[in-house]
A and B are shown apart, each in its own frame.
Chain A
Amino acid sequence: MIKFDDVGLTYSNKVRALRSVTFDVAKQDFAFLVGPTGGGKSSILRLIYRDAIPTHGRVHVFNRDITKINSREIPYLRRRIGVIFQDFLLIPTKTTRENVAFALEVKGASQKQIETLVPEVLEQVGLEKKAKMKPTELSGGEQQRVCIARALVNKPDILLADEPTGNLDPDTSIEIMEIVDRINSRGCTVMVATHDENIVNRFRKRVITVVAGAITNDTEKGGYTN
């Protein structure tokens, strides 16, 4: 599903984010990307949804070298990848329902499809009663669930989460990760970048450790290592 082949990434300010990263993630895998801040975890995720271009190497997603795709194809790639961020990235002027529906509107879904899919996915994340509330009226955990719902509504094949519990308390963090785990059990490939030890140790999934732009460890059912 995802394959990194000798990938390096240097940003325009000459910061070398990734050195020579090689790994692959199979379909329906769940992998944590762990490591210190600035290690390259977020950069790996950005490369997958084509928000950055590697300086060298190849990134394959859905068996396609996405470093070579046309810019017009990028929106269609991203519709198959759901992304969750630490800072939620919700539109403050839209309600919960509207924020989730947004992801369907951009791909031209009909009103009927929106009215069917949005309530369904809000129910999956436990926010069916908060559909008309705005982000400012929701707690941090609820806002993150809205993000998850928005990421899920297009039924993505891959779900990427960049520090999804970074702004949440421990109990809410566990709730969020349980939702993500359920998503994975339904067939979605998941990669979560985090430096939350509790989450990683609790869920015992594959752990890829990234330090200073290189993979130092890759363990199935691993725990958090510094």
Chain B
Amino acid sequence: MTVALLVLGAFLIGMIIASSFLDSLKKYGEIHVYLADDLAPQDYLRIDDAIKNDSDAADVRYVSKEDALKNFARSSGIDIKDLLATNPLPAMYVVAPRSLKSTSALADRLGKLPGVSDVRYGEKFLAGLANALRAVQVVFALTILLLISASFSSINNIIRLSVYARRREIRIMQLVGATKWFIRWPFIFEGGAVGLFGGVVATIILVAGYNALIKLLEAFEVFVNLMVTPDVVAATVAAVIIPLGLVIGVVSSYFTLNTFLFREEQMVLESERLKRGLGFRD
């Protein structure tokens, strides 16, 4: 059970990293809308309205010529003012599309606005990478489902063994007049406890493992930047794996035990079948 939850948690962390990476790609999906120089004030207003009112534009940020110069100097370490008399960098809008799918159409529309000199975005790169990451997410999701069913199976076996070991006690309980729930609850409690324990242990191992991995990868700055912070991973894994372990333990125990407790219903069905087969009537 713990192993299944451990592997499930590892895949969950993989999904979190993949989703985070996908989120981070959104900035590469930003559209840069460059404005022509010497636009009249009403042209600025018209372009501003058009961009901000476009339904596919989730976030719009204006970068003036001066800000563009400062950003360039910060990222490159070169101050153009030292080299050129005038600022060659145009003013621009940085537009974040609502989704990667709508990026291309949005860019086309913005490019056609009067006063817009150029529109740039990483079209092909984004499309390919997004598809690849979605495929990875689907694989992760399917694997997680398989692991959940493996966890059910694991608890099922544990409870079956427990029920088998205590079958005499269960039989006595039935004979002295115990209700089904009186018989059931200790096993459900046991299954829940096993699941909860498995979830807690798996979470501790996963969080410790992830922290160790981050430290190991710190030398490779690029990779570390793509990883999710340990706090987020710890909180997400704990919030998913521990309750999942508990739920799997309880649900699996309930259904496993029913095999023994449904004996009465099976007897009734068997009796009805025999009556029909032997031609008896009441």
| Contact surface of A with B, Cβ cutoff 8 Å | 8, 10, 12, 49, 51-56, 71-72, 74-79, 83, 89-91, 102-103, 106-107, 150, 154
Contacts and interface: CB of A to CB of B under 8 A. Distances in A.
A10 to B, nearest CB: 5
Binding site of B, secondary structure by majority: helix, strand, loop or mixed?
helix
27 contacts: A8-B280, A10-B278, A52-B267, A53-B267, A53-B270, A54-B271, A56-B275, A56-B281, A56-B282, A75-B174, A75-B177, A75-B179, A77-B177, A78-B175, A78-B176, A79-B176, A83-B175, A90-B172, A103-B176, A106-B173, A106-B176, A106-B178, A106-B182, A107-B177, A107-B178, A154-B176, A154-B177
Contacts of A107: 177-178
Contacts of A74: 264
Interface string B240-282: 0000000000000000000000001101101100110010111
A51 B275 CA distance: 17
Given A55-B271, A55-B280, A56-B280, A71 B177 contact: no
B168 A79 contact: no
A90 B175 CA distance: 12
B274 A10 contact: yes
B169 interface: yes
B168 A91 contact: yes
B171 interface: yes
Contacts of A8: 280
B226 to A, nearest CB: 56
Name, among A53, A77, A78, A154, the residue most crowded by chain B CB atoms within 10 Å (CB to CB). Answer: A53
Contacts of A12: 270, 274
B167 to A, nearest CB: 11
Contacts of B275: 55-56
Contacts of B268: 53, 71
A55 B168 CA distance: 27
B181 to A, nearest CB: 10
A226 B180 CA distance: 41
B11 to A, nearest CB: 41
Nearest to B266: A12
Contacts of B274: 10, 12, 55
Nearest to A16: B278
A23 B112 CA distance: 100
Nearest to A108: B182
A76 B278 contact: no
A89 B172 contact: yes
A4 to B, nearest CB: 15
Nearest to A78: B177
A91 B169 CA distance: 6
Nearest to B172: A89
A79 B179 CA distance: 10
